[in-house]
Amino acid sequence: MKAKELQERYLKGERDFRGIDLREQDLRGYDLTGINLSKANLSGADLTEANLSQAELFNTDFSRACLKEINLAYAKGESAIFVWSEISHANLDYACFTKAHFSYANLESSTLIGANLIESSLINTILDKANLSGANLTKANLWSAHFYQANLSRAILTEANVEGAYFIEADLGCTNLSKVDLTLAHLTKANLTKAHLMNAYLNSMNLIDVNLSQANLRDADLKNANLQNVILEKANLQGANLVHANLSNVDLTRANLTNAITYKVIWDNANFNHTIMPDGKMYESDELTSKSDTTEKALGDINGMPNKIVQSEHAPAPVGPYSQAVAATGEILFVSGQIAIDPRSNTVVYTDDVVRQTEQVMQNLEAILSAAGYTWQDVVKTTVFLSDMNNFAAVNQVYARYFDADKAPARACVEVSRLPKDVLVEIDCVAVL
Protein backbone atom coordinates (compact mmCIF):
# COMPACT_ATOMS: atom_id res chain seq x y z
CA MET A 1 0.00 0.00 0.00
CA LYS A 2 1.16 3.52 -0.80
CA ALA A 3 1.31 6.22 1.89
CA LYS A 4 -1.27 8.38 0.10
CA GLU A 5 -3.83 5.58 -0.02
CA LEU A 6 -3.30 4.88 3.69
CA GLN A 7 -3.91 8.53 4.53
CA GLU A 8 -7.06 8.75 2.42
CA ARG A 9 -8.60 5.64 3.97
CA TYR A 10 -7.63 6.79 7.47
CA LEU A 11 -9.27 10.19 6.94
CA LYS A 12 -12.46 8.39 5.90
CA GLY A 13 -12.55 6.73 9.32
CA GLU A 14 -10.82 3.41 8.64
CA ARG A 15 -8.48 2.32 11.45
CA ASP A 16 -7.73 -1.36 10.87
CA PHE A 17 -4.67 -1.75 8.66
CA ARG A 18 -3.28 -4.98 10.10
CA GLY A 19 -0.66 -6.76 8.03
CA ILE A 20 -0.26 -4.10 5.32
CA ASP A 21 3.05 -3.49 3.57
CA LEU A 22 4.39 0.05 4.00
CA ARG A 23 8.06 -0.63 3.47
CA GLU A 24 10.14 2.44 2.56
CA GLN A 25 7.01 4.67 2.52
CA ASP A 26 7.18 8.37 3.36
CA LEU A 27 4.81 8.95 6.28
CA ARG A 28 6.44 12.07 7.68
CA GLY A 29 4.11 14.14 9.83
CA TYR A 30 1.11 11.81 9.34
CA ASP A 31 -1.49 11.86 12.13
CA LEU A 32 -2.46 8.22 12.59
CA THR A 33 -3.76 8.35 16.16
CA GLY A 34 -5.35 5.07 17.28
CA ILE A 35 -4.48 3.20 14.08
CA ASN A 36 -4.07 -0.58 14.12
CA LEU A 37 -0.89 -1.55 12.29
CA SER A 38 -0.34 -4.90 13.96
CA LYS A 39 1.86 -7.25 11.91
CA ALA A 40 2.35 -4.48 9.34
CA ASN A 41 5.73 -4.08 7.65
CA LEU A 42 7.11 -0.53 7.95
CA SER A 43 10.79 -1.42 7.67
CA GLY A 44 12.76 1.46 6.23
CA ALA A 45 9.75 3.79 6.35
CA ASP A 46 10.09 7.46 7.31
CA LEU A 47 7.72 8.42 10.13
CA THR A 48 9.52 11.55 11.30
CA GLU A 49 7.18 13.65 13.49
CA ALA A 50 4.29 11.24 12.81
CA ASN A 51 1.59 10.74 15.44
CA LEU A 52 0.89 7.10 16.33
CA SER A 53 -0.32 7.71 19.85
CA GLN A 54 -2.64 4.97 21.15
CA ALA A 55 -1.81 2.88 18.08
CA GLU A 56 -1.89 -0.92 18.10
CA LEU A 57 1.46 -2.18 16.88
CA PHE A 58 1.62 -5.84 17.87
CA ASN A 59 4.42 -7.61 15.97
CA THR A 60 4.82 -4.56 13.71
CA ASP A 61 8.15 -4.31 11.91
CA PHE A 62 9.83 -0.88 12.15
CA SER A 63 13.35 -2.17 11.56
CA ARG A 64 15.69 0.50 10.10
CA ALA A 65 12.80 2.98 10.02
CA CYS A 66 13.22 6.68 10.77
CA LEU A 67 11.01 7.57 13.73
CA LYS A 68 12.56 10.86 14.85
CA GLU A 69 10.25 12.90 17.07
CA ILE A 70 7.44 10.38 16.55
CA ASN A 71 4.59 10.32 19.07
CA LEU A 72 4.03 6.77 20.34
CA ALA A 73 2.49 7.74 23.68
CA TYR A 74 0.14 5.05 25.02
CA ALA A 75 0.80 2.86 21.99
CA LYS A 76 0.65 -0.93 22.43
CA GLY A 77 3.01 -3.21 20.60
CA GLU A 78 4.05 -6.50 22.13
CA SER A 79 6.93 -8.05 20.13
CA ALA A 80 7.21 -5.01 17.86
CA ILE A 81 10.52 -4.72 15.99
CA PHE A 82 12.56 -1.51 16.14
CA VAL A 83 15.99 -2.99 15.37
CA TRP A 84 18.44 -0.38 13.99
CA SER A 85 15.70 2.26 13.99
CA GLU A 86 16.27 5.99 14.54
CA ILE A 87 13.86 6.99 17.34
CA SER A 88 15.62 9.99 18.88
CA HIS A 89 13.61 12.77 20.58
CA ALA A 90 10.51 10.57 20.37
CA ASN A 91 7.60 10.35 22.81
CA LEU A 92 6.93 6.83 24.12
CA ASP A 93 5.36 7.86 27.41
CA TYR A 94 3.23 5.09 28.93
CA ALA A 95 3.62 2.97 25.80
CA CYS A 96 3.45 -0.81 26.22
CA PHE A 97 6.15 -2.61 24.23
CA THR A 98 6.65 -5.83 26.16
CA LYS A 99 9.02 -8.31 24.51
CA ALA A 100 9.79 -5.73 21.82
CA HIS A 101 13.08 -5.60 19.94
CA PHE A 102 14.96 -2.29 20.22
CA SER A 103 18.45 -3.67 19.70
CA TYR A 104 20.87 -1.19 18.08
CA ALA A 105 18.15 1.46 17.92
CA ASN A 106 18.84 5.12 18.77
CA LEU A 107 16.47 6.49 21.42
CA GLU A 108 18.65 9.39 22.47
CA SER A 109 16.75 12.15 24.33
CA SER A 110 13.45 10.30 23.94
CA THR A 111 10.86 10.18 26.72
CA LEU A 112 9.66 6.79 27.96
CA ILE A 113 8.01 7.87 31.19
CA GLY A 114 6.06 4.96 32.66
CA ALA A 115 6.71 2.83 29.56
CA ASN A 116 6.27 -0.94 29.84
CA LEU A 117 9.32 -2.68 28.37
CA ILE A 118 9.15 -5.96 30.29
CA GLU A 119 11.37 -8.64 28.70
CA SER A 120 12.26 -6.35 25.81
CA SER A 121 15.60 -6.54 24.04
CA LEU A 122 17.64 -3.33 24.11
CA ILE A 123 21.04 -4.74 23.18
CA ASN A 124 23.45 -1.91 22.30
CA THR A 125 20.52 0.52 22.29
CA ILE A 126 21.39 4.20 22.73
CA LEU A 127 19.30 5.85 25.44
CA ASP A 128 21.62 8.71 26.34
CA LYS A 129 19.74 11.56 28.06
CA ALA A 130 16.47 9.65 27.66
CA ASN A 131 13.77 9.92 30.33
CA LEU A 132 12.71 6.47 31.56
CA SER A 133 11.31 7.63 34.88
CA GLY A 134 8.96 4.97 36.22
CA ALA A 135 9.54 2.68 33.23
CA ASN A 136 9.27 -1.09 33.75
CA LEU A 137 12.30 -2.95 32.40
CA THR A 138 11.85 -6.17 34.37
CA LYS A 139 13.88 -8.99 32.80
CA ALA A 140 14.82 -6.73 29.89
CA ASN A 141 18.09 -7.40 28.07
CA LEU A 142 20.15 -4.20 28.36
CA TRP A 143 23.45 -5.71 27.29
CA SER A 144 25.87 -2.86 26.44
CA ALA A 145 23.00 -0.34 26.28
CA HIS A 146 23.95 3.33 26.75
CA PHE A 147 22.20 5.38 29.45
CA TYR A 148 24.57 8.36 29.74
CA GLN A 149 22.83 11.05 31.82
CA ALA A 150 19.55 9.18 31.39
CA ASN A 151 16.75 9.52 33.94
CA LEU A 152 15.84 6.10 35.32
CA SER A 153 14.43 7.31 38.60
CA ARG A 154 11.79 4.96 40.01
CA ALA A 155 12.27 2.59 37.08
CA ILE A 156 12.01 -1.18 37.64
CA LEU A 157 14.99 -3.21 36.43
CA THR A 158 14.42 -6.34 38.51
CA GLU A 159 16.32 -9.30 37.03
CA ALA A 160 17.34 -7.25 33.99
CA ASN A 161 20.56 -8.10 32.17
CA VAL A 162 22.79 -5.02 32.46
CA GLU A 163 26.09 -6.63 31.47
CA GLY A 164 28.28 -3.97 29.89
CA ALA A 165 25.55 -1.32 30.18
CA TYR A 166 26.68 2.31 30.59
CA PHE A 167 24.90 4.20 33.38
CA ILE A 168 27.51 6.95 33.58
CA GLU A 169 26.05 10.02 35.33
CA ALA A 170 22.61 8.42 35.08
CA ASP A 171 19.90 9.11 37.65
CA LEU A 172 18.93 5.78 39.22
CA GLY A 173 17.28 7.31 42.27
CA CYS A 174 14.62 5.00 43.79
CA THR A 175 15.24 2.54 40.94
CA ASN A 176 14.50 -1.13 41.66
CA LEU A 177 17.64 -3.14 40.88
CA SER A 178 16.81 -6.16 43.04
CA LYS A 179 18.52 -9.39 42.00
CA VAL A 180 20.46 -7.60 39.26
CA ASP A 181 24.07 -8.56 38.50
CA LEU A 182 25.79 -5.18 38.15
CA THR A 183 29.36 -6.44 38.13
CA LEU A 184 30.00 -5.58 34.48
CA ALA A 185 27.87 -2.42 34.34
CA HIS A 186 29.42 1.05 34.31
CA LEU A 187 28.12 3.27 37.12
CA THR A 188 30.66 6.10 37.29
CA LYS A 189 29.11 9.14 39.01
CA ALA A 190 25.66 7.57 38.85
CA ASN A 191 23.01 8.63 41.34
CA LEU A 192 21.62 5.63 43.21
CA THR A 193 19.92 7.54 46.02
CA LYS A 194 17.18 5.40 47.59
CA ALA A 195 17.78 2.70 44.97
CA HIS A 196 16.52 -0.81 45.76
CA LEU A 197 19.52 -3.15 45.54
CA MET A 198 18.43 -6.07 47.72
CA ASN A 199 20.44 -9.19 46.84
CA ALA A 200 22.14 -7.24 44.04
CA TYR A 201 25.47 -8.59 42.83
CA LEU A 202 28.14 -5.88 42.98
CA ASN A 203 31.15 -8.12 43.55
CA SER A 204 34.49 -6.41 42.69
CA MET A 205 32.73 -3.38 41.19
CA ASN A 206 34.29 0.07 40.93
CA LEU A 207 31.76 2.40 42.56
CA ILE A 208 34.00 5.38 43.29
CA ASP A 209 32.04 8.62 43.89
CA VAL A 210 28.64 6.94 43.42
CA ASN A 211 25.79 8.32 45.54
CA LEU A 212 24.09 5.47 47.43
CA SER A 213 22.50 7.51 50.18
CA GLN A 214 19.38 5.83 51.61
CA ALA A 215 19.86 2.93 49.18
CA ASN A 216 18.60 -0.51 50.22
CA LEU A 217 21.60 -2.85 49.91
CA ARG A 218 20.27 -5.54 52.20
CA ASP A 219 22.07 -8.86 51.56
CA ALA A 220 23.87 -7.33 48.57
CA ASP A 221 27.19 -8.84 47.50
CA LEU A 222 29.84 -6.10 47.67
CA LYS A 223 32.81 -8.39 48.16
CA ASN A 224 36.03 -6.77 46.88
CA ALA A 225 34.06 -3.70 45.71
CA ASN A 226 35.75 -0.30 45.54
CA LEU A 227 33.49 2.14 47.38
CA GLN A 228 35.93 4.98 47.94
CA ASN A 229 34.26 8.35 48.53
CA VAL A 230 30.82 6.77 48.16
CA ILE A 231 27.91 8.37 50.03
CA LEU A 232 26.12 5.68 52.05
CA GLU A 233 24.30 8.00 54.42
CA LYS A 234 21.23 6.22 55.87
CA ALA A 235 21.87 3.23 53.56
CA ASN A 236 20.59 -0.21 54.57
CA LEU A 237 23.52 -2.66 54.47
CA GLN A 238 22.02 -5.33 56.70
CA GLY A 239 23.56 -8.69 55.93
CA ALA A 240 25.61 -7.26 53.05
CA ASN A 241 28.84 -9.01 52.13
CA LEU A 242 31.62 -6.39 52.40
CA VAL A 243 34.56 -8.77 52.59
CA HIS A 244 37.76 -7.09 51.31
CA ALA A 245 35.74 -4.05 50.18
CA ASN A 246 37.38 -0.61 50.14
CA LEU A 247 35.27 1.91 52.06
CA SER A 248 37.91 4.62 52.42
CA ASN A 249 36.42 8.09 52.99
CA VAL A 250 32.90 6.65 52.89
CA ASP A 251 30.08 8.50 54.63
CA LEU A 252 28.17 5.92 56.68
CA THR A 253 26.20 8.42 58.74
CA ARG A 254 23.13 6.66 60.16
CA ALA A 255 23.73 3.66 57.90
CA ASN A 256 22.65 0.20 59.11
CA LEU A 257 25.40 -2.47 59.04
CA THR A 258 23.59 -5.04 61.19
CA ASN A 259 24.93 -8.55 60.43
CA ALA A 260 27.06 -7.26 57.56
CA ILE A 261 30.13 -9.37 56.82
CA THR A 262 33.06 -7.00 57.23
CA TYR A 263 36.18 -9.14 57.28
CA LYS A 264 39.27 -7.25 56.07
CA VAL A 265 37.31 -4.17 54.99
CA ILE A 266 39.37 -1.00 54.45
CA TRP A 267 37.70 1.75 56.51
CA ASP A 268 40.30 4.54 56.33
CA ASN A 269 38.70 7.86 57.32
CA ALA A 270 35.17 6.44 57.11
CA ASN A 271 32.44 8.41 58.87
CA PHE A 272 30.53 6.26 61.38
CA ASN A 273 28.38 9.01 62.86
CA HIS A 274 25.37 7.28 64.47
CA THR A 275 26.00 4.17 62.34
CA ILE A 276 24.44 0.88 63.44
CA MET A 277 27.40 -1.50 63.54
CA PRO A 278 27.42 -5.22 62.54
CA ASP A 279 26.72 -6.24 66.14
CA GLY A 280 23.51 -4.18 66.06
CA LYS A 281 24.83 -1.48 68.41
CA MET A 282 24.73 2.22 67.59
CA TYR A 283 28.10 3.90 67.13
CA GLU A 284 28.22 7.25 68.90
CA SER A 285 30.85 9.67 67.55
CA ASP A 286 33.12 11.69 69.83
CA GLU A 287 33.59 15.27 68.68
CA LEU A 288 37.07 15.32 70.22
CA THR A 289 38.16 12.20 68.37
CA SER A 290 40.16 12.41 65.12
CA LYS A 291 39.01 10.66 61.96
CA SER A 292 41.71 8.01 62.25
CA ASP A 293 40.74 7.36 65.86
CA THR A 294 37.10 7.16 64.82
CA THR A 295 37.94 4.46 62.27
CA GLU A 296 39.98 2.55 64.85
CA LYS A 297 37.11 2.69 67.34
CA ALA A 298 34.62 1.56 64.70
CA LEU A 299 36.83 -1.34 63.72
CA GLY A 300 37.01 -2.32 67.34
CA ASP A 301 33.22 -2.55 67.41
CA ILE A 302 33.24 -4.67 64.28
CA ASN A 303 35.97 -7.03 65.44
CA GLY A 304 34.02 -7.58 68.64
CA MET A 305 30.84 -8.57 66.85
CA PRO A 306 29.19 -11.86 67.84
CA ASN A 307 29.14 -14.97 65.71
CA LYS A 308 26.70 -14.79 62.80
CA ILE A 309 24.12 -17.50 62.20
CA VAL A 310 23.83 -18.32 58.50
CA GLN A 311 20.50 -19.43 57.08
CA SER A 312 19.77 -20.26 53.42
CA GLU A 313 16.33 -21.14 52.10
CA HIS A 314 18.07 -23.06 49.32
CA ALA A 315 19.37 -25.69 51.75
CA PRO A 316 17.44 -27.95 54.18
CA ALA A 317 16.26 -26.22 57.36
CA PRO A 318 17.79 -27.54 60.60
CA VAL A 319 15.81 -30.39 62.14
CA GLY A 320 17.40 -30.11 65.58
CA PRO A 321 19.23 -27.73 67.93
CA TYR A 322 21.85 -26.60 65.43
CA SER A 323 22.35 -23.98 62.68
CA GLN A 324 23.10 -24.54 59.03
CA ALA A 325 26.36 -22.68 59.57
CA VAL A 326 28.03 -20.25 61.95
CA ALA A 327 30.43 -17.49 60.82
CA ALA A 328 32.87 -16.84 63.65
CA THR A 329 33.59 -13.08 63.76
CA GLY A 330 32.88 -12.92 60.06
CA GLU A 331 36.02 -14.90 59.19
CA ILE A 332 35.66 -18.65 59.89
CA LEU A 333 32.52 -20.44 58.74
CA PHE A 334 31.51 -23.79 60.26
CA VAL A 335 28.91 -25.54 58.09
CA SER A 336 26.83 -28.29 59.64
CA GLY A 337 26.80 -31.72 58.04
CA GLN A 338 24.51 -31.87 55.03
CA ILE A 339 22.62 -34.88 53.78
CA ALA A 340 20.59 -35.50 50.62
CA ILE A 341 17.50 -33.48 51.55
CA ASP A 342 15.90 -31.45 48.78
CA PRO A 343 15.02 -28.08 50.42
CA ARG A 344 12.01 -27.69 48.12
CA SER A 345 10.27 -30.80 49.46
CA ASN A 346 12.27 -31.17 52.69
CA THR A 347 12.54 -34.91 52.04
CA VAL A 348 15.44 -37.28 51.42
CA VAL A 349 16.00 -37.92 47.71
CA TYR A 350 17.68 -40.71 45.70
CA THR A 351 17.60 -43.18 48.60
CA ASP A 352 19.48 -45.90 46.69
CA ASP A 353 21.80 -43.74 44.55
CA VAL A 354 24.94 -42.57 46.35
CA VAL A 355 26.09 -40.48 43.35
CA ARG A 356 22.85 -38.47 43.17
CA GLN A 357 22.80 -38.14 46.96
CA THR A 358 26.33 -36.72 46.90
CA GLU A 359 25.33 -34.23 44.23
CA GLN A 360 22.43 -33.06 46.41
CA VAL A 361 24.72 -32.78 49.44
CA MET A 362 27.20 -30.63 47.52
CA GLN A 363 24.37 -28.40 46.26
CA ASN A 364 23.16 -27.90 49.83
CA LEU A 365 26.66 -27.03 51.02
CA GLU A 366 27.10 -24.58 48.13
CA ALA A 367 23.81 -22.83 48.97
CA ILE A 368 24.92 -22.28 52.56
CA LEU A 369 28.40 -21.11 51.57
CA SER A 370 26.87 -18.65 49.11
CA ALA A 371 24.41 -17.33 51.71
CA ALA A 372 27.37 -16.51 53.96
CA GLY A 373 29.38 -14.88 51.18
CA TYR A 374 31.83 -17.76 50.75
CA THR A 375 32.77 -19.97 47.79
CA TRP A 376 34.25 -23.45 47.41
CA GLN A 377 37.67 -21.79 47.11
CA ASP A 378 37.32 -20.61 50.72
CA VAL A 379 36.78 -24.14 52.10
CA VAL A 380 39.79 -25.39 54.15
CA LYS A 381 38.46 -28.61 55.72
CA THR A 382 35.74 -31.16 55.01
CA THR A 383 34.59 -34.33 56.69
CA VAL A 384 32.87 -37.08 54.69
CA PHE A 385 30.72 -39.63 56.50
CA LEU A 386 29.79 -42.83 54.64
CA SER A 387 27.43 -45.61 55.60
CA ASP A 388 29.54 -47.94 53.42
CA MET A 389 33.20 -47.30 52.56
CA ASN A 390 32.68 -49.22 49.32
CA ASN A 391 30.90 -46.09 48.08
CA PHE A 392 34.03 -43.95 48.51
CA ALA A 393 35.07 -43.95 44.83
CA ALA A 394 31.60 -42.90 43.64
CA VAL A 395 31.35 -40.13 46.24
CA ASN A 396 34.87 -38.93 45.51
CA GLN A 397 34.11 -38.64 41.80
CA VAL A 398 31.32 -36.13 42.50
CA TYR A 399 33.24 -34.36 45.29
CA ALA A 400 36.25 -33.79 43.00
CA ARG A 401 34.20 -31.62 40.60
CA TYR A 402 34.01 -28.86 43.21
CA PHE A 403 37.72 -28.44 43.98
CA ASP A 404 40.93 -27.92 42.04
CA ALA A 405 43.22 -30.85 42.71
CA ASP A 406 46.15 -28.61 43.65
CA LYS A 407 44.07 -26.43 45.99
CA ALA A 408 41.68 -28.96 47.52
CA PRO A 409 40.93 -28.57 51.24
CA ALA A 410 42.04 -30.96 53.96
CA ARG A 411 39.64 -33.86 54.33
CA ALA A 412 38.75 -36.78 56.55
CA CYS A 413 36.55 -39.67 55.43
CA VAL A 414 35.05 -42.18 57.86
CA GLU A 415 32.58 -45.05 57.74
CA VAL A 416 29.83 -44.96 60.33
CA SER A 417 27.27 -47.55 61.33
CA ARG A 418 24.32 -45.30 60.51
CA LEU A 419 23.57 -41.75 59.29
CA PRO A 420 20.51 -39.51 59.90
CA LYS A 421 17.41 -40.62 57.97
CA ASP A 422 19.46 -43.62 56.79
CA VAL A 423 21.15 -41.63 54.05
CA LEU A 424 24.26 -42.93 52.32
CA VAL A 425 26.52 -39.89 52.74
CA GLU A 426 26.91 -36.76 54.88
CA ILE A 427 29.48 -33.97 54.47
CA ASP A 428 30.35 -30.93 56.58
CA CYS A 429 32.97 -28.23 55.98
CA VAL A 430 34.91 -25.32 57.43
CA ALA A 431 35.64 -22.22 55.31
CA VAL A 432 37.87 -19.23 55.96
CA LEU A 433 37.90 -15.88 54.17
Active site residues: 413
CA atoms within 13 A on the CB side of 377: 1
- Please report the DSSP string for 231-253 in residue order: B-TT-B-TT-B-TT-B-TT-B-T
Which uninterrupted H or E stretch holds 426?
strand 425-432
CB 280 within 8 A of CB 257: no
The residues, ordered by sequence, that sit 6+ positions from 419 with a Cβ below 8 Å of its Cβ are 339, 385, 387, 425, 426
Rounded to whole angstroms, what are the CA distances from 363 to 57, 225, 254?
Answer: 46, 27, 38
Q: Which of 121, 112, 171 is nearest to 143 (CA)?
A: 121
Buried b (16+ CB within 10 A) or exposed e, 304-323: ebeebebebeebbeeeeeeb
Residues with Cβ within 8 Å of residue 141, at least 6 apart in sequence: 120, 121, 122, 123, 160, 161
User: Which letter does DSSP use for residue 221 in this model?
Assistant: B
CA distance 293 to 303: 15
> Which has the closest alpha carbon to 199: 185, 181, 211?
181
Query: Could you tell me the CA-to-CA distances from 416 to 111, 387, 393, 424 in Å, in that order?
Result: 67, 5, 16, 10
Q: With contact defined as beta carbons under 8 Å apart, do 68 and 49 qualify?
A: yes
Alpha-carbon distance of 254 to 278, in angstroms, equals 13
